[in-house]
Copies of this chain bind each other. A is one copy, B any other.
């Protein structure tokens, strides 16, 4: 059974049973029943309460089994110790869709968690789907259902937006203020503890639900990040997914930013997954719903050139500031447009963008100017600002702008500051599809979100690339790793010689190491050393050679090399580190201009992820941490590199241009390496030095063999 089928009865039930309704006003069960009745549920309502005959005019059944008719959806309101038994009874009546409103499970500790587990085990065994526990219910405002199975008194007007909230309270806050905000949505669900149904199930359900065109989510955690990523990557090709993800944990302390694992904060990876799957991540709930509205009601935005039309200078200037912050541009209006505007706009106004028509501009002026500007090819979207002046009728202007918003083929957002009376009159009308903001700052953010969504969707449509290592390379690497799997004296980091071999199999541009163990071996091989060279102590315990002072750069001669080696061994001995050294390495010294880090690590929820960013000593200052979910296509890899702060330097004016394609090749292969081999936990190529060529000069691979 697909998600579509298994969740349908939650949102489209013909009959709903409320289990354990109290007759006490203000109790949750009583309030849910009241809301269901007052919102006018189109199906049948059944309730149980062993001590009453009726509540709010609905007959009380003594128990579930007493009910004769078929029931699609049960909502359980009982105290937690009665929940399990009631589910068993539901099952006997073949009720397979159950919402548990009751709290006191996993969220309060071990005992609750145990109870929750028992319930879920029973449900799994009997093909029952559960929403909750510890949730606030579900709403479907669609005309043929009219279900408000929550204790929220306010209900939104219908639209094709669906909304999931991991927090019942956050949803309550949204619903409490819905008269003021005017947000609309068709389906709402509060998923509480996510004991069974989670955000991934709902993504699948809403993907195939005809009544859903935009998916919005407030999330505090991901049940299975990797699955979420794969689902949204697919869903966003057809339906936008907008996410507020709360609970950004702090990134690790600065001192720890020396390898991929420590650099990857949970929030970095969430960001990577959301970016890569083309979800829109917003900072606030307000931004989420306003973005949804624009996506639902207004035309596609195909570029970042914005025109502002205003009757007031100040707000327009603030708006321009926000445009720039959001990477949008003020459109250059064409000469023709300016010529046409000249006939309309007050001679002391401004014909340049922002077009300032001065306070005298009335509905007619706004209408004509907006139409002219919308026709300008240089304009991708419009922001119309209207501050109500004394001499102008605000209702006329805003109503005419609303009509234009619906009529023109470009997205136009209205930002307005009318007197309070306006809103009273406006709310009498039925303008749910109007996009009218009361905040200057929000309009550019929303436009950026929408533009970026479409831009990415189109760009990705045409990309078809392969994502796997060829069989021969795979086998060769598997062979190297197998040794570790069977070896009893396993070490966490695989040996430098072996990791060098892996890089070689991947055909990556590393600088060859010459390995040796003592002065005798060194002297015997001196003739093969190219100067200047680098001497390193290698250790599979210490992740960073520089940490133990184990690197000497730019050695110019044989004599200097011998001296350096003796110095190094002496230093390591003095610090009691000599036993922890696996051996020594000599490498030709490569001096470039820029150092980058390429890495990969396995995240618990999102699986393998890849890192690209600035390396070297500035890494902490720049905080150039850019992640993507592995495996990466070549274009994913290029996108990752382009998203870094170091990118302008790589392509900058002061130096030879970096071969980005070659760099992307390394990034992609590293993503494939961690993707194919579950035994690899973390990979660091650090630094990768970029000069005339690209050279990997240090690397390490950590396995998860114990």
Residues of B within 8 A of A169 (CB): 311-315, 359, 387
A388-B314 contact, Cβ under 8 Å, with A321-B247, A593-B617: no
Cβ of A438 within 8 Å of any chain B Cβ, yes or no, is: yes
Selected from B171, B255, B417, the residue in CB contact (under 8 A) with A176 is B417
| Docked pose: A648 CA to B440 CA in angstroms | 36
Cβ of A28 within 8 Å of any chain B Cβ, yes or no, is: yes
> CB-nearest residue of chain B relative to A421?
B153
Residues of B within 8 A of A621 (CB): 614, 618, 622, 624, 645-646, 648-649
Cβ of A218 within 8 Å of any chain B Cβ, yes or no, is: yes
Q: Interface size for chain A: under 10, 10 to 19, 20 to 34, or 35 or more residues?
A: 35 or more
**Closest CB-CB distance, A155 to chain B, in whole Å?**
12
A246-B173 contact, Cβ under 8 Å, with A441-B283, A621-B646, A621-B649: no
A618-B314 contact, Cβ under 8 Å, with A31-B390, A248-B321, A438-B177: no
A418-B314 contact, Cβ under 8 Å, with A255-B653, A390-B31, A649-B620: no
> CB-nearest residue of chain B relative to A32?
B390
Residues of B within 8 A of A624 (CB): 621
The interface bits of chain A over 616-655 (1 if a CB of B lies within 8 angstroms of the residue's CB, else 0) are 0110111010000000000000000000011011001111
**Closest CB-CB distance, A244 to chain B, in whole Å?**
8
Are B317 and A247 in touch, CB under 8 angstroms?
A: yes
Cβ of A14 within 8 Å of any chain B Cβ, yes or no, is: no
Cβ of A108 within 8 Å of any chain B Cβ, yes or no, is: yes
Residues of B within 8 A of A26 (CB): 390-391
Are B108 and A348 in touch, CB under 8 angstroms?
A: yes
Interface residues of A in 500-548 (CB under 8 A from B): none
Cβ of A419 within 8 Å of any chain B Cβ, yes or no, is: yes
The interface bits of chain A over 239-281 (1 if a CB of B lies within 8 angstroms of the residue's CB, else 0) are 0000010111010001100000000000000000000000000
Cβ of A167 within 8 Å of any chain B Cβ, yes or no, is: yes
Residues of B within 8 A of A481 (CB): none
Cβ of A114 within 8 Å of any chain B Cβ, yes or no, is: no
Task: Show the binding face of A for B, using Cβ within 8 Å.
Answer: 26-28, 31, 103-104, 107-108, 151-154, 165-174, 176-177, 179-180, 218, 220, 244, 246-248, 250, 254-255, 283-284, 286, 311-315, 317-318, 320-321, 324, 347-348, 359, 387-391, 417-420, 438-441, 593-594, 614, 617-618, 620-622, 624, 645-646, 648-649, 652-655
In the A-B complex, the 9 residue pairs with the smallest Cβ-Cβ separation, listed nearest first, are: A167-B314, A169-B312, A170-B314, A173-B417, A108-B348, A26-B391, A246-B317, A31-B390, A179-B420
A-B contact pairs, 21 of them (CB 8 A): A108-B348, A167-B313, A169-B315, A169-B359, A173-B312, A173-B315, A173-B387, A173-B417, A176-B417, A176-B420, A180-B420, A218-B314, A220-B313, A247-B317, A247-B320, A254-B652, A255-B653, A593-B617, A621-B622, A621-B645, A621-B649
Apart from A153-B419, A220-B314, A620-B648, 4 more pairs, CB < 8 Å: A108-B348, A246-B314, A618-B649, A621-B622
